[in-house]
Amino acid sequence: MPDHRGQGRAQIDTAPFQLVPALRSELHVATPAVRHPRSVWTALPVQKLAAPAVPMEVRLAYARVSSRTQEIQSQIDALEASGVHRLFQERISTRVRERPEMKAALAADREYRSLGAKVTLVVHEMKRLGRGALELLKVAEELRDVEIELEFLTGPLAGKHDPAGHGAALFAFFAAMAESERDYLRDKTLEGQETTRKNGKAIGGVKVSDEDMLATALRLRDQEHLSLREFATQLVIRNGKKRGQHPAPATVMRMLREHDEQTAAAALEPVR
């Protein structure tokens, strides 16, 4: 029996192109050189997708003013003129611990750095990063940990500072400033406490408890067996700014604990 397989295949494959010649050009599919009739099938090499293009250096900017009435456009103009790729801006006081746009800028810095790009955070001047040395050190340490450069456009520290190179001195300067600020605050606190003691004043504000409150609390606890929260609502503060209010349960608990500790200590003292 004659073999018609090859003839049938030829008729099926070529008939549409013979009837409609335009299909030859419209439906032409490029075929690799290894693909030809009666060739042994082999897998083609897998082409790797190119990684997304990332600039060799990414410059991210951050602008901030403390209030809605302050002008921010001059910062934006200067930052854009320096050739930044992205700009984050916000109107928020440095007294606020969580600054959303500052947090977003640092997150973007880390993301670009993870892709292998050289990243620089650009600000108009140093005080836009933080109010004090402690806040500046926090930002500086975060940038240093992922090797992100910091650049100031104006001020005494204007220029680019590389934490892994010559700019490391700036980050060490921030650390020294922060340590000095911590020592200063600690010394001022101790001096204030010492002055308060010499003047015969109590430290920590006006004491809300007194002997009458203690006696009432002991009776409610020991005789009526009420819970701390229950008998705290039956006590009243007699002095200070909170006069007429009920003390917090934590305040009552501390008052009772101090009384119990003093009573226990007195019981252990030898009788003379």
- Catalytic residue (choose from 25, 66, 74, 209): 66
Rounded distance between C-alpha atoms, residue 258 and residue 245, angstroms:
22
Contact (CB, 8 A) for 44 and 31: no
Rounded distance between C-alpha atoms, residue 127 and residue 146, angstroms:
22
- Catalytic residue at 93? no
Q: Is 56 helix (H, G, I), strand (E, B) or coil?
A: coil
Nearest to 113 by CA among 72, 60, 170, 74: 60
The H helix count followed by the E strand count for the chain is 9, 5
DSSP for residue 72: -
Nearest to 73 by CA among 56, 94, 87, 83: 87
77-105 in b/e form (b: 16+ CB < 10 A) is: ebbeeeebbebbbbebebeeeebebbeeb
Kindly give the interhelix angle for 211-222 and 249-268, rounded to the nearest 10 degrees.
90
Catalytic residues: 66
